[in-house]
Amino acid sequence: MTPDVAATRERKYRILVAGYAISSYGSFLNMVALNLYVYAITDRALAVGVFMAVRLAAGFVAGLLAGTILARWSAKGTMFWVNLVQAAALLLLITAPEGLRTAAVFAVSAVAGVTGTLFMVAFRGTVIPDVVEESRRTWANSLMVSWRSMAMVAGFASSGVVVSLLGYTAAFLVDMATFLVCAATVALLPASPRTTERADDEKGSGDEKPKRRLPAAVIAVAAAPVLGLMVLLRGVDALGSSSHNAALPVYSTDLDTDSPAVFVSVFWCVWALGNVLVQQVIQRYTKRTGRAVGALGFGIGTIAMSAGFILAFAGFPWVVTVLVALVAGAADGLTEVSYTSHLQGLPDAFRTHAFGLSATVESLGFGVGMIAVGAALDVFSPLSVVAVAHGAAIAIAVVFVALVLRQRTGSEALSEHTSERGNSGAGPACGGHRDGAEVSGG
């Protein structure tokens, strides 16, 4: 790729990230609006839980099928059409007659689960590796995460104002418009030079290849000593995320019954600030050293993030809690970038399948967590519930870090042994900076 072509592709990638941030703003705005809307039209708290369950179940199924779908259709086309489908679903909700509103809102939930998962698998697993040069992938992931964090804060912060002053229809129209904007930015992406190659690889010859499409994700994680544990840790981390998401409203109400939203708002704003700040550090680190944040950063970041979320519920003074939220946000941003960058290093034949499997595991972890945590919070304190959920993530992360360090030590020893024997053609596979979670492209 020539410098001019690379610069042009990066400009289009920046435009795509801007479109993604705009649609993320609409999604977070709508997350609040739809939950309130479901309760308003059903008058049942159970319906809100079912609404979330439908979305998670749809995302779970989409994760299983994402690799197969992206083997048949281009990532650009998939991302374009899922945005249009989400906009169409919201239009259906807005125009639905009163008797069909409940059915329409659950259809929106299912559509959001499927399309959101497909979009992110295509974005992280195909578009970034195809559009951005390998040396710039960490920067690309960091840019995406930081813009999404800012969009989340803006969406949550403005949701109350939009719904209260303008109503549900206005919130749905805003979200629909953001999806159309995102679709327009996707349309500007260059055609992938490897789309045809991937399709040919998946089709293969005869009937053998199609049978291996779904197990490809399992092959990917089984081919590296640590990668399977990495995906598992991501799922347990999602379970931990469900615990603090469910416990925050309870804890904030205990702190201030009259204004429970204050703690939640401040916490997420500071969390997002930490997330954005760490992206600047990561970008400068990779630019200065030429190295990406690897699997070791993912493990250490998970430990710091989970510890931060536990400490946030420990009842410390405001100043300490704000610092804890800042650290949790920074660690969360580190894990997101390092995890995504690491999976993007997989060979083309495995990458989208691995991202699809990861999305499925994350949906399962968050869904199971929401059910278990919801029941536990009726009996135990928020601190106890969050400590158990995030404590499980810390325990697995410690094992993961130990295995990564062991693999790295083994790689360094092998590299030194090879050097002593005068074998200069060992190549990067014997380098001392590998994490032990790689999959060979051979």
- C-alpha to C-alpha distance for 369 and 372, rounded to whole angstroms: 5
Cite the DSSP H helix spans in 96-167.
101-122, 128-131, 137-166
pLDDT of residue 282: 86
- C-alpha to C-alpha distance for 230 and 119, rounded to whole angstroms: 22
Domains by residue range for the chain, with CATH: 1-189 (1.20.1250.20), 212-420+434-438 (1.20.1250.20)
Kindly state the DSSP code that residue 441 receives in the 8-state scheme.
-
Kindly state the DSSP code that residue 204 receives in the 8-state scheme.
-
Tell me which residue of 158, 168, 179 sits closest to 112, measured CA to CA.
179
pLDDT of residue 414: 61
pLDDT of residue 212: 46
Q: With 0.85 as the threshold, say if the pTM is over it.
A: no
Q: Which residue type occupies 277?
A: L
Give the pLDDT means over successive 10-residue stretches in the chain (442 positions). 75 92 90 80 72 85 86 90 94 89 90 92 89 84 88 81 84 93 91 52 45 53 69 91 85 77 79 88 80 82 95 90 93 91 80 84 86 83 93 94 82 61 46 47 40
pLDDT of residue 442: 38
Cite the DSSP H helix spans in 188-214.
195-203
Residue 87, Cβ neighbours under 10 Å: how many? 21
pLDDT of residue 207: 45
The backbone torsions φ and ψ at residue 425, rounded to the nearest 5 degrees and listed phi first, read -100, 25
Residue 423, Cβ neighbours under 10 Å: how many? 11
- 135 and 3 Cβ atoms separated by less than 8 Å: no
Q: Which residue type occupies 28?
A: F
Q: Whose structure tokens read 């400590």?
A: 387
Q: Which residue type occupies 110?
A: A
Q: How far is CA 374 from the centre of its chain?
A: 22
- 14 and 143 Cβ atoms separated by less than 8 Å: yes
- C-alpha to C-alpha distance for 308 and 302, rounded to whole angstroms: 10
